[in-house]
Chain A
């Protein structure tokens, strides 16, 4: 079982504001990066279905966060990181098909997990992003809207549509497997 944060767990220790002391700021940045990296990488994996690609997108996002934080251009590190990561996943998804790729060392992935990932990747990118941010990362509607540049109503609409589509896809897949 992988240790994952609770649905409402937020890492607010680092807000992206620099204190002016370079050593303290770098230490705070490193702490934030170390704490956030696994969660961001999992979210990226749910978005793109490829651990290697997810790791690369996460590194790029956090590198941009580090550079922009050092020059004081980040107001909220969480919003910045997730918004940047979702945008990177959205751009990448335009260029590749949604194919689930297990990690090199994985011994085997349950069939249900593959079905869920496939169903997730059949959703529209916005729906998928809303579901990942809301149900996996545990962000509220306001934060999710800020990350995806959507108002609250649109977040709600995407969430409802995504859940309905996901439920339908999973039902169809289970029926097919049972049959």
Chain B
């Protein structure tokens, strides 16, 4: 069906008298088109950014909600526990801040922590050299009053002369008399709150001079004991029951 012609068109032509000139209208159209294109591009980019942000946020929420922070570690119970120490049940832990401080020093000497025992206020790290046992490192924390007396092995009534390290006072109790089983121990106490830490590294007993050396040197044991982070790593824990037997008891 073709377009009609007739009087209506002629009538409409008269209506358009007084039409304004086109002038710069064509340029105005292209300027407007450029603005429109920019607006659409910005809208597209904005939508893309919003979409990406939403995906990142959703991913973050999903990962933090569904995934654990760190794989759980099952601590293997160890058979060679001194009779006086109540064996701790195997426990599942998500982190051990004390181990984080001790393990790098052990690994720095080419040794490894094979297994861990732990209880309220104490840890025992069993060390191996390859697949051979190399003793253990014990760490425990106690609450001691202001008048705490650092023990002297030779005189139970005397108090040891202390060394100072920052806000800490400490005493080293190294025993290297038996070359087949040496002990490195430091007791350190934080004067501000009476928290007292004992750190002891022992070699494997009666297996020869080489294996009898502790996993840490005396200086490293002192370093751990006088590290303020160890006090904080235990949090509110205090060693009261089942604590490991230290060569020099904290008392």
CB distance from A141 to the nearest CB of B (A): 4
B2 within 8 A of partner (CB): yes
Other-chain contact of B30, A1, A33, A134 (Cβ < 8 Å): A33
Q: Which residues of B contact A59 (CB under 8 A)?
A: 25, 28-29, 32
Known: A63-B32, A136-B12. A2 touches B25 (CB 8 A): no
In the assembled complex, the Cα of A45 lies from the Cα of B12 at a distance in Å of: 11
Q: Which of A1, A2, A46, A131 has the most CB of B within 10 A?
A: A2
A24 within 8 A of partner (CB): no
Question: Is the Cβ of B9 less than 8 Å from the Cβ of A136?
Answer: yes
In the assembled complex, the Cα of A42 lies from the Cα of B36 at a distance in Å of: 24
Contact string against B for A residues 41-84, beta-carbon threshold 8 Å, 1 for contact and 0 otherwise: 11001100001000100111011101100100000000000000
Question: Is the Cβ of B20 less than 8 Å from the Cβ of A140?
Answer: no
The chain B residue with its CB closest to the CB of A166 is B8
Main secondary structure of the interface of B (DSSP, over half): helix
A152 within 8 A of partner (CB): yes
A28 within 8 A of partner (CB): no
Q: Which residues of A contact B2 (CB under 8 A)?
A: 8, 140
Known: A34-B26, A140-B3. A113 touches B33 (CB 8 A): no
Question: Is the Cβ of B20 less than 8 Å from the Cβ of A105?
Answer: yes
Question: Is the Cβ of B22 less than 8 Å from the Cβ of A42?
Answer: no
Question: Is the Cβ of A33 less than 8 Å from the Cβ of B16?
Answer: no
Binding site for A on B (CB under 8 A): 1-6, 8-9, 11-20, 22, 25-26, 28-30, 32-33, 35-37, 40
